[in-house]
Chain A
């Protein structure tokens, strides 16, 4: 078990290094000239040679690339993610201020996806090809197709139109003002949660259908155990293992999906910062946020893998 965790962590560390190189290559090398990204192709032609050189030196962009890369890594290790081109706030402060809101949204959405997805999967799998099953399958197919941010826009619009209501714009922590905080968080969390619930219901249904046909489930029934207990105690735990793995994969959907969804709701979270960074062509902020999101994704998937290993002796004892 410990060797499994150690191996997983070692691979994770390697991945984080690889990811940092990849982010650096994408954000710094691909465009050729970061000044184009900042000023736009037209703005660049208006700068004199000297101005360009000054900007480059100012931003530390005239050093060799490997020096820039190492400086960036040093910054990250020191917990200082550099600063934005356009805002006085440092990226680290931005993450600390806005990150919790997005984390809250992600957490609630995952819980919600389980609360909705699993019961739907159970109903579907226990009564396959009935009306309830058809409705559930249609709903999940529909939710797989609907873009979350569009649902978000429609919700915002409907609330404004009929109730003249808009969620508070200022970010508030749950501890300082729970009511305002929940009003901000609940919309994005529902939208993202339902999107995941569709995948979970689909996966849970097929996984449960498979497990129900297993010999040990038939044995449990044959010894006269109540059907509910058979499902709850024998079938469900095994059927849920692939769903947990799926939930880890879906975290990518939540992390990325929260960007357009937060824009749709006007949520003052980290996803909104990402949208701002992208629309302002703020390369440094983008570079750090992309790296942060990727690292969070990698770490959460390690957590999921280790959880699975703890729950499943077939993996633990390998």
Chain B
């Protein structure tokens, strides 16, 4: 977007939109595979948003004439032990799973990033203490920390979001802190400080904008992890409480469907998790390559 000395006779307003459009076009050209998976991710998000419109049945309605039916004409993905349509539940499950994952990653990464900004900028004792706390947080395996917090706070979508968000804080804190540490020594920041810019102005006008790329990379690469943690919490019974359909809840529920659980109750929710995580991971890889040219080619 460098050589856009446009004809002054043309209307200028849509330039921002065009910039975004061109960004997406560049993305597809540079990373067609990630572009493809980005489309899949967009479709999954669209499916979640449009679930009430496109789902063939209400997710909680049980049909006692069609209990535990294998996939067929009326129920493409079959029904569970109390006659609820699996396809509809998978669609609605996308809603809760994606809400939790997006909410947790945005919340956790933002808190972590602001914390890292403060640590990197002010340094000193505050930084020392913060680094210890972050180390303590990272001494817990992610899922175990999320389980403990979700259990302590009690069930519900909000608590699951908070529980997963807290496990994401150390990553944002660490990465943004190191970025800020190197930015702080840059000449343009020094120059701004020289002409008397306040701490707030330095932090938010000069340093923070440079943190946007690493922030976006962090957020996209952690979406997949957040989805898996959410599903695991649901599977272990500390996620969003049933009967709300989430992919994890559905998998846990399938274990109650008799000695040999019907395969469709196990297969479809798990396949939904896998596909979604795969799409977000590969999209994240593409975004990382695009935003951070130094990393291109590695891993």
Residues of A within 8 A of B (CB): 14-15, 18-19, 21-23, 26-27, 30-31, 36-37, 41, 141-142, 144-147, 149-150, 153-154, 157, 160-161, 202-203, 206, 210, 252-253, 255-257, 259-260, 263-264, 274-275, 278-279, 281, 283, 286, 290, 293-294, 297-298
Contacts and interface: CB of A to CB of B under 8 A. Distances in A.
A19 B145 CA distance: 11
A253 B144 CA distance: 10
A144 B238 CA distance: 23
A86 to B, nearest CB: 15
Contacts of B238: 278-279
Given A157-B260, A259-B236, A31 B153 contact: yes
A283 B147 CA distance: 12
A157 B268 CA distance: 14
B64 interface: no
Main secondary structure of the interface of A (DSSP, over half): helix
B144 A255 contact: yes
B153 A150 contact: no
Interface string B269-298: 010011001100110000000000000001
A144 B285 CA distance: 13
Contacts of A255: 141, 144
B245 to A, nearest CB: 16
8 contacts: A14-B132, A141-B282, A150-B251, A157-B261, A256-B142, A260-B235, A263-B236, A298-B139
Given A30-B149, A161-B263, A256-B142, A150 B273 contact: yes
Interface in B38-76: none
- Dominant SS at the B interface? helix
B274 A294 contact: no
Interface of B: 132-133, 135-137, 139-145, 147-149, 151-154, 224, 228, 231-232, 235-238, 251, 254-255, 260-261, 263, 266-267, 270, 273-274, 277-278, 281-282, 298-299
Contacts of A15: 135-136, 139
B277 to A, nearest CB: 4
B123 to A, nearest CB: 20
B144 A259 contact: yes
A150 B149 CA distance: 23
A26 B146 CA distance: 10
A160 B260 contact: yes
What are the nearest 8 A-B pairs in CB distance?
A150-B270, A256-B141, A256-B143, A252-B141, A18-B136, A145-B278, A145-B277, A30-B152
Contacts of A202: 299
Contact of B142 (A18, A27, A210, A252): A252
A30 B153 contact: yes
Nearest to B149: A26
Contacts of B144: 255-256, 259, 274, 290, 293-294
A157 B266 contact: yes
Contacts of A26: 148-149, 152
A126 to B, nearest CB: 17
Contacts of B152: 26-27, 30-31, 37, 283
Given A153-B266, A255-B144, 15 more contacts: A15-B139, A22-B140, A142-B274, A147-B270, A150-B251, A150-B270, A153-B254, A153-B270, A154-B270, A161-B263, A203-B299, A259-B143, A278-B151, A281-B151, A283-B152
A37 B298 contact: no
A22 B281 contact: no
Pick from A27, A157, A253 the residue with the most CB of B within 10 Å: A157
Nearest to A161: B260
A37 B154 contact: yes
A31 B154 contact: yes
Nearest to A14: B132
Contact of A290 (B132, B148, B235): B148
B140 A290 contact: yes
Nearest to A205: B299
A112 B149 CA distance: 32
B151 A37 contact: yes
B172 to A, nearest CB: 17
A293 B141 CA distance: 8
B278 A278 contact: no
B94 to A, nearest CB: 15
Given A150-B251, A153-B270, A161-B263, A275 B236 contact: yes
B141 A253 contact: yes
A23 B228 contact: no
A315 B281 CA distance: 33
Contacts of A203: 299
